[in-house]
Amino acid sequence: MSNPEWAEDVKAESDAHAAAEAQPEDDLPKSFTPGGSFFLNAPPTPPAVWGSGGDVLWAQGESLILAGPQGVGKTTIAHQLIRARLGLQDEVLGLPVEPAQDGKRCLMLLMDRPAQARRAGHRIFGKDDEGFLNERLVVWEGPPPYDLAKRTDILAAMCDRAGADTVLVDSIKDGALGISADEVGAGYNRARQKALAEGVQVLENHHTKKAGANGGEPNTLADVYGSVWITAGSGSVIMLWGDAGDPVVSFRHIKQPMNEVGPYQLIHDHASGLTTVRHAVDLIDMARIKGVHGLTAIDAAMAMFESKKPTAAEREKARRRLGQLVDKGLLSKREPDAPGDPVRWYPAHPGFRAQQAS
């Protein structure tokens, strides 16, 4: 179906959604949830679209933003996530991806350079069955029928029209014009939240400012381009950084549903379109190498963040990661023997320190 035909159908469904929202007040209680059930039955860890246990990169009912400059692999990773949602691969970056609901499609809004996204998709989907992809994957090329920040029901209506429970917005700036203005950012966020409320899992590509603080690598939410409402309304934000076309780029999880995942160095295989983790710091192995001296939080932070002088926040993140490994029974923690000494972590198996000391 061509895009103009879609536009007419989407407009009709959009008008129907708008009419439904204008129902009398006596219909409103049907939308309410008892407070006890809402709060007390919350799961201990967020159900994951992408992730495992507390390591959640994309939580159900919350959007995921892949942010970065041009050419660092946002579209490549997004296509792999869509392929996993279609059930054609199990994992992305070593973490499992929950497949889409039976019979549901994935919708890709390729609004930013669709021809380039098409070439990237050819590398990733090139060996898959065309008939299956035609049945389960739907693509929209170019701008949406209406500005998503002005017609906040359009995103949900497009997903409904496509029969999709997953949507890739590539990219946010092309779906809503003037995204740096708070009014536009708030409007886009409302469109996103309406889609999420309809049970659609939302994946978004977005851009960063040209550089972070003092011209360095951007690694905070403030380094993401546009209105604060873009990141405020998202459940998870991943920052990718490097030069366009680099085979190795950095990965930082700067907003998390639960645990911080990474940081990583990623390898993009441009020929196959696949992405793998090149370097993930193994704190358990570091503790083993440290032997009787043990691993300190500063040691861990220096390795995790590739910094000779980790910040207080980075040291605290390292402590949390070490604490998680203690909770899993993989490390043991030893309090200081004397005032001013650091806390130290050791491999958890019994007798390790005694064996090292002998």
DSSP 87-148: TS-SEETTEEBPPPPTT-EEEEEE-S-HHHHHHHHHHHHTTS-HHHHHHHEEEEESS-SS-T
Cβ contact 227:176 at 8 Å: no
Measured CA to CA in angstroms, residue 163 lies from 9, 20, 33, 139, 167 at distances of: 13, 19, 26, 12, 11
pTM exceeds 0.85 for this model:
no
The continuous run of DSSP H or E covering 285 comes out as: helix 283-290
Report the length, in residues, of the chain. Answer: 358
Bridge-based pairing of strands 248-255 and 264-269 is antiparallel
Count Cβ atoms within 10 A of the Cβ of residue 301 and give its class: 0-12 exposed, 13-18 middle, 19 or more buried. buried
pLDDT at 356: 41
* Poorest-pLDDT segment among 210-214, 260-264, 328-332: 210-214
Distance CA 178, CA 225 (A): 11
Q: How confident is the model at residue 62 (pLDDT cuts 50, 70, 90)?
A: very high
Place of tokens 């934000």: 237
Distance CA 195, CA 204 (A): 13
The percent of residues in the chain predicted with pLDDT above 70, rounded, is 88
**Which range, 234-238, 274-278, 297-301, is most confident?**
234-238
Closest-CA residue to 157 (of 15, 62, 19) = 15
Q: What is the mean pLDDT of the chain?
A: 89
pLDDT at 271: 76
